[in-house]
Chain A
């Protein structure tokens, strides 16, 4: 009858076998993994609801998700639930059930298995990079290789250790190790000698450039609605994220235009509102100017995206065309996003700007045109852009 005493011998100084694993936490992680898988499969829907476009420097987003439910057979909810309770009350009394009555300081009923579970919400944090990766998988998009420019960058990288060097590059950990090694052999050697010192060594490497610049150009004339801007913004964001996968360094230029064009910072860019008509060529000229000033095509891979509702001044047709032709000869790709109201059919009359781009596509330039009416079109456009870019690259 005193079996428990033999069973508990040495309990004080011995770590129980139960300390060695944490199944609960492991299964919880597995659950979260499954949630991530589920999120992954519904990515486009989830992302379009997420307000993550504002600040792309934030590298994580929080998505509210439900606990996964392990389903079991259950009866329909009764229209009038019934139950048995305890307390001083009379028939006809109304009781509020707002608070759970099950939260009592219940004594452990660990013998049961606790069938049944709820499914409240919790937040999971997703890395933007992960989302992009899943997204690429999901949309089945090609992984593009960075195009290397002709100029090489010089870059210093750490490589190995040296016994001589400047004080600033002394590797203390390494030095200490050397000293320890030496003293393992010398029974009473001094703590440190000069021989122990190790300095980090830098080596100059030449690396092909993998820089890119992305131009986001937006028509902000009065005909562009809030809806149009949102779609454009969404496309710019995802295209940029996608290009980030290819290029180590990406610079961005934001240009807004009506009948004249201005460069903006990213924050201001999407707030810009202006009155007036549309002359597309001013934006293209502005881009050309900026390229000439800051981004030599030899050093940079250049991507331009232009979003507009396509209602360009008819007189601007030829200037715009000429300008675009020039740009398309130096840019890796030019994408045109034509926004239009949700209900509008794609079969409507072709807008002036669209005609220009179609003309360039026919000429075999690295150019694409994508319609944007609803959020789903953004994914189509992203897919269209990256696939087209991949096929162009293959042709080269």
Chain B
């Protein structure tokens, strides 16, 4: 890092501490822009190889060459946190980026979802992911490209299917159900039973019997296949669990994107405003970069059909601070994710001020703006954020012949699956499950339909 930037970043950190930001130390690195691109594509500085990353890389490269995308920075939460900045950034840009990164670091140390995830995956995940990659390249040497790729095809195709609530480390299902009398009602059921007009829950199954596998619909497909795949080899299970662990690491980033980016933008503006040590022209350049990034529209357009999370998050945080003060804002930052953030703090006034609108597609290439309704607007923003944006699929049962029976909950998603893709994914799963795999969903007319591989 050049000396000037080094001195700025030292001063910015001091300012941040004065402003009450609380974060683990951050290691900054200036790296070539092609490395930035790789990090963005893989999601981690060192990650397992897979051909699908190659496709994304080329897309990114084309975007970059056409000047559509400029990656300023990539941050990885942890202790220490790691931040990569492009060495093609100007000094002004990197000053802004440093302040931005400090905002992210504050967020990822204090936000509950991030905190829980970090507790589970550990605070040195970047290194851990590198060791996953290392193990996989060992596996490539031992088992060959074809076999390793088969496992990665399946595992990465299911990378969204984890159960964040059950946690990373969870025990296998018990072989036998505990007799009822030994079973303490869970805290949730205790509270539930205490509600007015609720009778105590009765045992749903006979007790002491063999547990069906899974005993309840299981949404953590990666975990389930890793542990209950009838013929999965040890190294194959390791690959599944590595992918799963990475998903646990990515989840908070995904589920808090609007909040997190908004928070970082809030702090880069605040810190830079306070930074009286910056030369005027540098400050102006940095602010120009800020307004390029935190704006709703692309290019000269006046209307955007998708929201810029930087802009939206930034606007909501500013509104919160204005109306409720910084302490309340920090409380929200600690406790919420995007779902709570949007549902609770995107107000009618703010939505109007930001000119948010809903539209529906009427024919190819044409959309119609529809009547406003704050609640549907909020759900419209959040609709792609549930479960990593993946369809709701769970394991229903293992049949007596070993068939893995999956179920797509079309009622939650409001429609069935894309059948072509479904069959392909089922065939990926089949090649590691090694017994038949079937999945129930509905077709485009809403009739139940079973795909299999």
Q: Does B30 contact A (CB under 8 A)?
A: yes
- Docked CA distance A89–B305 (Å): 11
Interface residue from A5, A26, A105, A107 paired with B54 (Cβ < 8 Å) = A26
A7 touches B52 (CB 8 A): no
In the bound complex, residues from chain A placing their C-beta under 8 Å from that of B418 are 73-77
B425 touches A86 (CB 8 A): no
**Which residues of B (23-37) have their CB < 8 Å from a CB of A?**
25-32, 34-37
Segment among A91-99, A227-235, A285-293, A351-359 that sits at the interface with chain B: A91-99
Q: Does A3 contact B (CB under 8 A)?
A: yes
Q: Does B41 contact A (CB under 8 A)?
A: yes
Q: Render B410-453 as a binary contact track against A, CB cut-off 8 A, 1 for contact.
A: 00010111110110110010000000000000001000000000
- Docked CA distance A31–B296 (Å): 35
- Docked CA distance A77–B391 (Å): 12
A114 touches B74 (CB 8 A): no
- Docked CA distance A195–B32 (Å): 52
Q: Does B224 contact A (CB under 8 A)?
A: no
Segment among B5-13, B164-172, B173-181 that sits at the interface with chain A: B5-13
Q: Which of A16, A76, A78, A95 has the most chain B CB within a 10 Å cutoff?
A: A76
In the bound complex, residues from chain B placing their C-beta under 8 Å from that of A105 are 68-70, 292-293, 298-299
Which residue on A lies nearest to B85, using beta carbons?
A108
B32 touches A18 (CB 8 A): yes
Q: Does A23 contact B (CB under 8 A)?
A: yes
CB distance from A264 to the nearest CB of B (A): 46
Q: Does B371 contact A (CB under 8 A)?
A: yes
- Docked CA distance A88–B296 (Å): 11
A82 touches B422 (CB 8 A): no
B367 touches A111 (CB 8 A): no
Q: Does B356 contact A (CB under 8 A)?
A: yes
- Docked CA distance A68–B51 (Å): 9
Interface residue from A23, A24, A74, A84 paired with B391 (Cβ < 8 Å) = A74
Q: Does B338 contact A (CB under 8 A)?
A: no
B304 touches A27 (CB 8 A): no
Q: Does B355 contact A (CB under 8 A)?
A: yes
Q: Render A47-76 as a binary contact track against B, CB cut-off 8 A, 1 for contact.
A: 000000000000000000001101111111
**A interface: dominant SS:** loop
- Docked CA distance A78–B74 (Å): 34
Q: Does B361 contact A (CB under 8 A)?
A: yes
- Docked CA distance A363–B362 (Å): 72
Q: Does A157 contact B (CB under 8 A)?
A: no
Q: Does B229 contact A (CB under 8 A)?
A: no
In the bound complex, residues from chain A placing their C-beta under 8 Å from that of B58 are 24, 28, 31, 67
In the bound complex, residues from chain A placing their C-beta under 8 Å from that of B40 are 108-110, 114
CB distance from B323 to the nearest CB of A (A): 21
Interface residue from A2, A23, A91 paired with B372 (Cβ < 8 Å) = A91
Q: Does A102 contact B (CB under 8 A)?
A: yes
Interface residue from B159, B297, B308, B359 paired with A83 (Cβ < 8 Å) = B359
B25 touches A4 (CB 8 A): yes
B381 touches A84 (CB 8 A): yes
Q: Does A121 contact B (CB under 8 A)?
A: no
Q: Does B123 contact A (CB under 8 A)?
A: no
- Docked CA distance A86–B253 (Å): 23
B1 touches A117 (CB 8 A): no
Q: Does A90 contact B (CB under 8 A)?
A: yes
**Which residues of B (61-79) have their CB < 8 Å from a CB of A?**
61, 63, 68-76
- Docked CA distance A108–B74 (Å): 6
Q: Does B380 contact A (CB under 8 A)?
A: yes
* A101 and B304 in contact, given A16-B29, A73-B421 (Cβ under 8 angstroms): yes
- Docked CA distance A16–B38 (Å): 15
* A73 and B422 in contact, given A80-B360, A93-B369, A112-B253 (Cβ under 8 angstroms): yes
Q: Does B370 contact A (CB under 8 A)?
A: yes
B360 touches A81 (CB 8 A): yes
A86 touches B296 (CB 8 A): yes
* A72 and B160 in contact, given A8-B1, A109-B257, A109-B261 (Cβ under 8 angstroms): yes
* A114 and B369 in contact, given A16-B31, A85-B307, A108-B36 (Cβ under 8 angstroms): no
A73 touches B417 (CB 8 A): yes
**Which residues of A (17-40) have their CB < 8 Å from a CB of B?**
18-19, 22-32, 34
B250 touches A86 (CB 8 A): no
A73 touches B304 (CB 8 A): no
Q: Does A364 contact B (CB under 8 A)?
A: no
CB distance from A195 to the nearest CB of B (A): 51
A103 touches B71 (CB 8 A): no
Q: Does B288 contact A (CB under 8 A)?
A: no
Question: Which residues of A are in contact with B by a Cβ distance under 8 Å?
Answer: 1-5, 7-8, 11, 16, 18-19, 22-32, 34, 67-68, 70-78, 80-98, 101-118
Q: Mind listing 13 A-B residue pairs with CB under 8 Å?
A: A19-B35, A31-B54, A70-B157, A72-B390, A73-B391, A82-B358, A89-B355, A96-B365, A103-B63, A108-B74, A109-B40, A111-B250, A111-B260
Task: Name 15 extra pairs, CB < 8 A, besides A83-B305, A85-B358, A104-B299.
Answer: A4-B9, A24-B42, A27-B52, A30-B54, A70-B153, A78-B415, A84-B357, A85-B307, A97-B305, A105-B70, A106-B70, A108-B36, A108-B72, A110-B73, A111-B253
